[in-house]
Amino acid sequence: LNLGAIPDEVKIDVYKLPSKRYIGGIEEGFLERLRPGDIFVLGGKLYKFRYARGMRCYVEGAREEIPTIPAWFSEMLPLSFDLALEIQKFRGELKRKFEKGQEKKIKRWLLRNYPIDENIASSIYEYFREQYLYAEIPDEKTLLIEETHDLEGRKFLVFHSLFGRRTNDALSRAIALLISNMIRHSVRVIVSDNGFAILIPRAKKVNVERLMEKLCFSNMEELLKKSLKRTELIKRRFRHCAARSFLVLRNYKGHKISVNKQQLSSQTLLKVCEEVDENFPVIRETYREILEDVFDIKKAEKVINWIKNGKLKVKKISTSIASPFAHNLIILGESDVILMEDRKKRLLALYEEIMKRISD
């Protein structure tokens, strides 16, 4: 039957260029998030995504580059927007205690208000203390933007936007598009629940004040639609919507049509529909599904409105080495490449650099 709301999904075969040798498989949901030039890990090796055809993904080998797509989280639920705001309030409470010089009372306050033991309370205290002494603790009233570098000297613009992955997905894509237009160079994005980092070429500079001004006075929906053009995400989601609309059939005269053929047909159909009418109903539904179900454009717009009306203040800082709160994002892309022991060493090296600067 062609009727059904659940889309057909299969494994994507990955082939290495130029030989087109088969090297493994990835989930279709993972492919959706790939953009040409993205670096990801497969079988412990780095590959650069080039393009996809049907259910085949074509890549090139990539050496000595940081992955821009972290470990695939599959069905892991993203942090909800409301819970993220509560965590921000917790950060704000600790920040104010540090500012008031109540450091000695923080551990007791944590033990009294939360079901944790002394070891956990000490870990939380030290983590926040290092962030406070080295940089600044972002909270519910402050969006902290940190221009920084990792130990290899790569330049990052870290947005400490604790709003959950779906909201950060929307914000990061819009901001990445604006930055690309400003510096006339492509950038790479690493996204998590706690924020996102944009990898910028060393020679390029970003005027953060101008960037946020552009973001506040741009149409968020239009920005995201531009960033989604020609991406695998729009191609794959269009197939889902086209199948539900019977524009692409799953069965024909008793024969099941393979997902590969469905995908190829839907990509051809997408091009035709865009040429005829960009507001074609199925195209509109595809964008709606991405913006509202995959991303959370409404919450992203809410964040932007908070910035506009002053409820959320934007503060930009520069650090020579990423602050403790940024370590997770900086290491996130590398976690698949380096062994756990090496990852611990990398985090320890970052920690030692932070402690040196705090003591100085």
**pLDDT, tens digit, for every residue of 311-331?**
999 999 999 999 999 988 887
pLDDT band of residue 332 (cuts 50, 70, 90) is low
pLDDT band of residue 76 (cuts 50, 70, 90) is low
**Within its chain, how far is the Cα of 231 from the centroid?**
15
pLDDT digits (tens, 9 = 90+) for 175-199: 999 999 999 998 888 888 999 999 8
pLDDT for 6 beyond 80: no
pLDDT band of residue 62 (cuts 50, 70, 90) is confident
The pTM (predicted TM-score) of the whole model is 0.85
Asked if residues 160 and 171 have their Cβ atoms less than 8 Å apart, the reply is no
Contacts of 2 (CB under 8 A, 6+ apart): 243, 246, 249, 250, 251
pLDDT for 210 beyond 80: yes
pLDDT digits (tens, 9 = 90+) for 147-169: 998 877 889 999 999 999 999 99
How confident is the prediction for the chain on average, in pLDDT? Answer: 88
pLDDT digits (tens, 9 = 90+) for 268-321: 999 999 998 989 999 999 999 999 999 999 999 999 999 999 999 999 999 999
pLDDT of residue 254: 79
- Which of 42-46, 158-162, 346-350 is modeled with the greatest confidence? 158-162
Contacts of 230 (CB under 8 A, 6+ apart): none
pLDDT of residue 342: 57
User: Which pair of structure tokens corresponds to residue 114?
Assistant: 């939360």
Q: Round to whole Å and give the CA distance between 360 and 348.
A: 18
Ordered by start, the domain boundaries in the chain are 81-134
